[in-house]
Structure 1
Amino acid sequence: MDEDGVGATGSTKGKRRTAANGGEPAARLRPKAGNPGYAGYEYQITVSVWVGLDLMLVKGAASQVSIEPRSDEDLEAAVADPDSGLLESTAAGDGFDLVLQAKTRSGAPWTAAAIADVLLGKGNDDASKGGKRSRPLAMLEADERRRYVFVTNEASGDALRAHEGDHLFDFAEPTDLPPHARDDFEPEARKALAQRVLLLTGLTEEVLLGRISTQLEQHGHIPQAKHAECVRDLRDLVRERIRGGHGGVWNRDELVAVLVAHGGSIAPRRDMDHYVRPASYEAIKRKLEREHAVVIAGPSGTGKTLTADILELELRSGVPAFEVVGEEHGPGPVRRSLSDGRSVLFHLRDPWGGNRLTPGADRWSSELPKLLELAGAGKKFLVTSRSDVLDSAGIQLTRALDPYIEWIRLEDYTPSQLAEIYV
């Protein structure tokens, strides 16, 4: 074959291939139209918006994030220890540096060999990113404060399950690095490194935008009608920092300014002032006070989320003041937080999904019933779920949660209350 992939014989020998004689060589044709490098940048922007909202707004774990930092990854942030939840702890050395890489893939799940190449930095000349990628494992080995998160739209193979999570900080405790990434390290070093690597797979644009919408609604209190405009402005803000603006730094004040510009607020929900109690409110509150765990279930639009937010605010403002841990941490950190001395409310909003079962829902299905058994006066659980989503999770789960479930139905409101809610 010659340089153009044309055989030594035939009518095209010695000629430049054109549209008239067959077009570009097959080896140069993309499988589909479009620039994959640009698609990768757009994916990175979406991931950065989600991570920025998660760290600076939802968890309050970082005061700023760096986009395209000098580490040559996509995003980096000094974050508070997720178990403390205190931003000030980073100054005392309690936190760690979160380093994140986002990468798209199409056609097949990630294999253990492909992930090993990413972790070892093999073949890391990345023309679409304008330079070389770092070697994540070497980076982790050189700095014990760092943890590495790999975010991708594609799924991964079975050999990588032990390294996967659902959310940021959902670091598991595997005993070894992924296959094909182990040869250059001693067994003890492999174990330590493995527990600082997190794979977030299957986070497609659709999944990420769904999570961003939830963040804007529940934590930024952005009206639904303004979500698209707000996301657009957040994406522009990230895009500017990819180009080097503001030294690549995006801080919390800049994030809040965008939220406020679109009618949002980081203060307690304004609609709490107009809260209408369902008939089941006292039963829900009593179960949380006496049994320390309640699952609020019911159809969409019946006030589950607002009822839970009212109860959360009471516990935040009480004595002792409860700290709040959400479902974003995943089951692992929730379990670890049960053993410390803090008063904690585990407020788990739709852990199986807001509209339908989401990837990773089975982890909550298997873990939550066991976690609820560990509830106590200083470790309370407040869970909300749409009844149809809960039913989709299976009859076995519903039976296990039955002692904790309190319902909110439309029948829990009088006609005059419904008029007050919906008019």
Structure 2
Amino acid sequence: MAEKKQGGLSGYRGYEYQIEASIWIALSLMLEARRVTEVVVEPQNQEDLEAEIVGAVLSPDQESSTLVASDGKSTRVIYQMKTLSNQLWSVKALRDVIGEGTSAREADSVSRRRPRALEMLLNDASLSYTLVTDARVNGKLTALARTTIPLGHDDAELPGGLLAVSLHDRLAALRGRLHILHDLNAELLEHRIHDLLAQKGRVPHSQVGACIAALKHAFRLCMLGKRDTRFTADELRLILEQHGARPVSGPSPGYVPPDVAAQAASTLREHGCVLIVGSPDIGKASLADYLATGFKLTELPCPLIQLETFAGLPARLWDEGPALLIVKNGWTEHGAAYPYAPANLPEMLAKAPGDKYVIVTCDLDMYRRLPDHMCTRLERYKVTLEAENYDDNSRWQIVLNQAGLTDWQLEALDAVREAVLRDIAEPFSLNLFGTLVREHAQHLIRSASTNDCGLFQDLAERALQETVVRRAVQQVSAYHNVPWQHAALVLGVYVALAQHSVLWMEVGLPTMERVAEQVARKTGVRLQGEAFIEYLVKKGLVQRWENQRLTFERASLDALRRLVGDTRSEVHPVLVAVVSDLAEAMDQVNFADRLERIVTLVTVAYPDAPPHGSAWNDVTVAIDAQLRRALDVEDRTQFIRNVEASMEWLWGKSVLSRLLYALHPKRIPFVATHEFWPSSHDVWRAVEMEMPKYDVRQFVHRFLVDFMPYTSIDYSAVPDCFDSFLRASRQVLDDDVHMAVHALERFVSTDWGDGRWDCDDGNHNKPVLLALLKASSGVPFVSRLPPPTPSWDL
């Protein structure tokens, strides 16, 4: 009984060691080395691990958990945690752990275990293996022993006797891919975890204990299989923030610094400030994060404080205690005239305590606009960052770090290296390209087998396009006065009024003024559409021709859409005001055009959630009222357009608008499952009940006679649903259907005027109408047209 109790206690200690070792490795890779964005935590055998937890008689060194990590390039690493009681690791003990290199199926047909480490190493050249243990190693394993986490392959020689004789020819392929992290006892792991959380994670000392408990809980659930075994950097960041961590951005995992990084670090140390100047998307912010990540004033990390503008810097310089202050793009064209201008920086630093250090980034275009005397005073702080500061190897490494491909995939990617580096110069675009490659890695098999580089070329073009869009987003966001609301104003008016991609100033500006007045009355926000247009023109996002018309670059429109979509709650009043302005000017003639534009705008701005609020409800009521009048228009062509537009009006509240929406062939089959009605009969009954004065009979007549023969909307895929839906109205007359088919025949026939007729009998809605006629009357249709003239001469 005592032996069982002691074995259960040892097993529990081994299990806790696996959790602590996994946490330490994850923190080291994510916070310190910044080489991975996720780790996979899993036990080698879940059932045995659960038995060990409840106290079965198992030695703690019989089972182990594994943690799989990727360094973002072509290397994956498996970390296996094992305790060893009162022993040294020998070659034989290590061989017992990593296996013989044979398949588990071959060795044991009933085994449910994952492949052993050696088998996995032999089958995957991109894989590395590290054993993490609390025990020491004997002399023969010294070449594999490490005290810090290895981050890649090295030249470590494998000891003799580790591989079977049959595998000696594979010795070179395994060199440098197998390591042992030794003498990591529980006390040392706890100390290292505490330091990582306090220094790299920036968790207050008072919260470190609670943070460790939260991490243990997450990893324990992973090892038990009670949650997703992937533990991500985002989840780690959330746990740290929940325990008071000071959020500081840093370079992305696998960040490749430019060759001026050392110069920037030296300038920061020597002068207390570094000014990083460069063009957009060249990597200024990432270099600032890189400098900040490793910056220390003493043995403890220096507190980091991010400032949104240069204006907040003077007060922070006089805060008590050391600090590293970071101002990203703090000098803009709207902020340069602020009392704390760039030229004041040397004077402020000279007066401030000597324990403050400052990192400032600035766009090259903005820096060039500064007066010469300012540039002279800032020269000693300036480090210029250009594309030339990244050599080809560094630029390609950016791609590889994001792509995360395996060997065979890397061969396909390397084939386009020269073309990609020729077309893409900026680190930001290369980073995007690598991300796109990773997201489309499943398609690389075809490209590799056919030696087709088309996929990579398409991804490179997409990366360049996305770069342009993101740059436009940054430029629009930099506007000094409520940029998101102005973006919604311009996008809304463009969608509402543009003709053939051109917005005429004589109608666009008055509309913006009316919308701005509405927004000011309801929210107090004052928009200046003309000034914002001037800003877009100045930035090259909009072209103005003869001061009369505006044309928008595609990237500009995409940027406006993205900004509006990301800030929908803030811009909602502006969008509703644009829709309201469109609805107020509706009539029977322009109803279809206005409604189509409203639908387009709402679909763009609200892709995943419907609009809301009392102002929006007022707009929908007004549109519904116009819809009823639009259906009374006498002109047949206009009636058709009005009906087609109404079929896309998803947000209507009246039963008539819901009826039109349900009449579309995409929705007729699903009327019975619609949130408004349980069946087709209830659709028509609702119209009769809520609109007793509405002439349903006249509507059905016009829908059959004036709409069905001429519309481009195709009902041929749903003839039965169309039949049952229309006949549920009890207003379908045989004469109406006959008239509709005759009208359709005339519409698709051509009278050449000399006694010859041509008839196109392929109209998509003719079979639908004939089926309705057959179901409603059973009388066969007889055409009134003469037979078509044969196409040959008699």
Report the identity percentage: 26
Deviation at 1:207, TM superposition (A): 1.0
Q: 1:30 to 1:253 in 2, by over 3 A?
A: same
**Corresponding residue for 1:252?**
233
Deviation at 1:107, TM superposition (A): 1.0
Alignment of 1:56-67 (within 5 A): 56-67=30-41
| 1:95 correspondence with 2:69 | no
**Corresponding residue for 1:207?**
188
Contact 2:99–2:116 (8 Å) recurs in 1: yes
Q: Distance in 1 between matches of 2:114 and 2:272?
A: 49
Q: Distance in 2 between matches of 1:312 and 1:185?
A: 60
- Match for 2:190: what amino acid? L
Match of 2:99 among 116, 120, 127: 120
Deviation digits for residues 235-256 of structure 1, max 9, x if unmatched? 0010111121332111111111
Q: 1:121 to 1:50 in 2, by over 3 A?
A: farther
Q: Distance in 2 between matches of 1:231 and 1:35?
A: 22
Match of 2:14 among 40, 44, 52: 40
Q: 1:174 to 1:306 in 2, by over 3 A?
A: closer
Contact 2:143–2:157 (8 Å) recurs in 1: no
Q: Distance in 2 between matches of 1:185 and 1:302?
A: 56
Structure with more contact order per residue of length (Cα contacts < 8 Å, sep ≥ 6)? 1
Contact 1:116–1:178 (8 Å) recurs in 2: no
Q: Give the CA RMSD over aligned residues.
A: 4.2
- Match for 2:30: what amino acid? M
**Corresponding residue for 1:305?**
300
Q: 1:107 to 1:77 in 2, by over 3 A?
A: closer
Contact 1:153–1:203 (8 Å) recurs in 2: yes
**Corresponding residue for 2:293?**
none
Q: 1:305 to 1:71 in 2, by over 3 A?
A: same
Range that drifts further, 224-233 or 132-141: 132-141
Contact 1:154–1:202 (8 Å) recurs in 2: yes
Q: Distance in 1 between matches of 2:223 and 2:196?
A: 23
| 1:221 correspondence with 2:194 | no
**Corresponding residue for 1:275?**
none
Q: 1:257 to 1:287 in 2, by over 3 A?
A: closer
- Consecutive unaligned residues of structure 2, counting only runs of 5 or more, are 47-63, 105-110, 251-265, 274-295, 305-322, 327-357, 362-381, 386-392, 396-794
Secondary structure, counterpart of 2:222 in structure 1: helix
Secondary structure, counterpart of 1:245 in structure 2: coil
Q: Distance in 1 between matches of 2:44 and 2:91?
A: 27
- Match for 2:298: what amino acid? G
**Corresponding residue for 1:285?**
269
Deviation at 1:33, TM superposition (A): 6.4
- Match for 1:115: what amino acid? L
Deviation at 1:215, TM superposition (A): 0.8
Q: Which of the two has higher C-alpha Rg?
A: 2
Q: Distance in 1 between matches of 2:384 and 2:122?
A: 41
**Corresponding residue for 1:49?**
23
Q: 1:195 to 1:188 in 2, by over 3 A?
A: farther
Alignment of 1:173-212 (within 5 A): 173-174=154-155, 176-187=157-168, 189-212=170-193
Q: 1:311 to 1:247 in 2, by over 3 A?
A: closer
Q: Distance in 2 between matches of 1:116 and 1:76?
A: 19
Q: Distance in 2 between matches of 1:190 and 1:220?
A: 40
Contact 2:43–2:224 (8 Å) recurs in 1: no
Contact 1:46–1:235 (8 Å) recurs in 2: yes
**Corresponding residue for 1:75?**
66
Q: Distance in 2 between matches of 1:261 and 1:222?
A: 9
Q: Distance in 2 between matches of 1:135 and 1:192?
A: 17
- Match for 1:36: what amino acid? S
- Match for 2:144: what amino acid? H
Q: Distance in 1 between matches of 2:76 and 2:142?
A: 24
Range that drifts further, 58-67 or 68-77: 68-77
Deviation at 1:192, TM superposition (A): 2.4
Deviation at 1:116, TM superposition (A): 1.8
Considering fraction of residues, name the structure with more strand.
Answer: 1
Secondary structure, counterpart of 1:305 in structure 2: coil
Q: 1:134 to 1:287 in 2, by over 3 A?
A: farther
Deviation at 1:105, TM superposition (A): 0.9
**Corresponding residue for 1:361?**
none
With normalisation by structure 2, the TM-score equals 0.29
Contact 2:117–2:129 (8 Å) recurs in 1: yes
Considering fraction of residues, name the structure with more helix.
Answer: 2
Alignment of 1:21-420 (within 5 A): 29=3, 32=6, 34-68=8-42, 74-80=65-71, 90=72, 94-120=73-99, 132=113, 134-169=115-150, 173-174=154-155, 176-187=157-168, 189-267=170-248, 285-286=269-270, 303-306=298-301, 319=383
- Match for 2:80: what amino acid? Q
- Match for 2:215: what amino acid? L
Contact 1:163–1:172 (8 Å) recurs in 2: no
Deviation at 1:29, TM superposition (A): 3.5
Contact 1:176–1:187 (8 Å) recurs in 2: no
Q: 1:50 to 1:307 in 2, by over 3 A?
A: closer
Deviation digits for residues 295-336 of structure 1, max 9, x if unmatched? xxxxxx993434698789868967467xxxxxxxxxxxxxxx
Q: Distance in 2 between matches of 1:288 and 1:190?
A: 52
Secondary structure, counterpart of 1:106 in structure 2: coil
With normalisation by structure 1, the TM-score equals 0.52
Deviation at 1:201, TM superposition (A): 0.6
Deviation digits for residues 265-291 of structure 1, max 9, x if unmatched? 34069xxxxxxxxxxxx99934999xx
Q: Distance in 2 between matches of 1:316 and 1:283?
A: 12
Q: Distance in 2 between matches of 1:149 and 1:62?
A: 16
Q: Distance in 2 between matches of 1:135 and 1:169?
A: 21
Q: 1:315 to 1:54 in 2, by over 3 A?
A: farther
- Match for 2:68: what amino acid? A
- Consecutive unaligned residues of structure 1, counting only runs of 5 or more, are 1-23, 81-89, 125-129, 270-281, 290-300, 322-339, 343-423
Contact 1:172–1:198 (8 Å) recurs in 2: no
**Corresponding residue for 1:295?**
none
- Match for 1:223: what amino acid? P
Q: Distance in 2 between matches of 1:176 and 1:232?
A: 39
Contact 1:165–1:171 (8 Å) recurs in 2: no
Secondary structure, counterpart of 1:61 in structure 2: coil
Q: 1:176 to 1:312 in 2, by over 3 A?
A: farther
Q: Distance in 2 between matches of 1:48 and 1:100?
A: 8
Contact 1:65–1:76 (8 Å) recurs in 2: yes
Q: Distance in 2 between matches of 1:34 and 1:57?
A: 34
Secondary structure, counterpart of 1:212 in structure 2: helix
Q: 1:241 to 1:307 in 2, by over 3 A?
A: closer
Contact 1:104–1:154 (8 Å) recurs in 2: yes
Q: 1:263 to 1:121 in 2, by over 3 A?
A: farther
Secondary structure, counterpart of 2:227 in structure 1: helix
Q: Distance in 2 between matches of 1:169 and 1:156?
A: 17
Q: Distance in 2 between matches of 1:312 and 1:152?
A: 41
Deviation at 1:173, TM superposition (A): 3.7
**Corresponding residue for 1:84?**
none
